[in-house]
Amino acid sequence: MMASIIIYDNRDSEERIMLQENAKPRKQSWRWRKSISDLLVVDLVQFIKGDHDDLGERLIRHLIEVFQFEIKTIRVERKLDESTKYLWNILPTFDRALVTNFGTDWDATNEDFQTFCKKFKDIIFNMVSDEKDLKFDEAFETEKLTFF
């Protein structure tokens, strides 16, 4: 699964920025009667000056700086690993996390839940997990925690 930023999404069309440098965008396509356009981060970020080597991080930091969002929410649909290392650097800039694994092969563990509880004060989990009991050995700063 490729990481992307959805910049426009409605019933008729969707545009997104694909964040991997090696991503291969589709030509404008149609899926479920919806027009889909992919933009490459490498094409967009060449116009953005910044201190960050990772193109995805540079783009996201630029968007957050330019647009004044009332609440910044990140939607995470897979385990964050080395390929998404830049996300760990920018997580503190978001106010809320929506974490879901529906439609993916990510089986969330206690550690996954703990990681997000340590990083965010407002979290919505929409998860399927084989874990029978969620056990936490410490208290977290989370103020609002929602499970679905």
Residue type, 109: T
The CA distance from 38 to 29, in Å, is 9
The CA distance from 54 to 42, in Å, is 10
Q: Which of 7-11, 74-78, 112-116 has the lowest mean pLDDT?
A: 7-11
Give the start-end residues of each E strand in 3-135: 4-9, 13-18, 29-31, 34-40, 73-76, 96-100, 122-126
CA 86 to chain centre: 11
pTM (predicted TM-score): 0.66
Looking at residue 85, what is its pLDDT? 76
The pair of structure tokens assigned to 108 is 């969330």
Give me the chain's average pLDDT, please: 76
pLDDT tens column, 95-143 = 888 888 887 888 877 788 888 888 888 888 887 766 666 666 666 667 7
Q: How many CA atoms lie less than 13 Å away from 30 in the CB half-sphere?
A: 2
CB 127 within 8 A of CB 147: yes
When pLDDT is cut at 50, 70 and 90, the band that residue 1 belongs to is very low
pLDDT tens column, 22-34 = 666 666 666 667 7
Q: Which residue has the higher pLDDT, 4 or 115?
A: 115
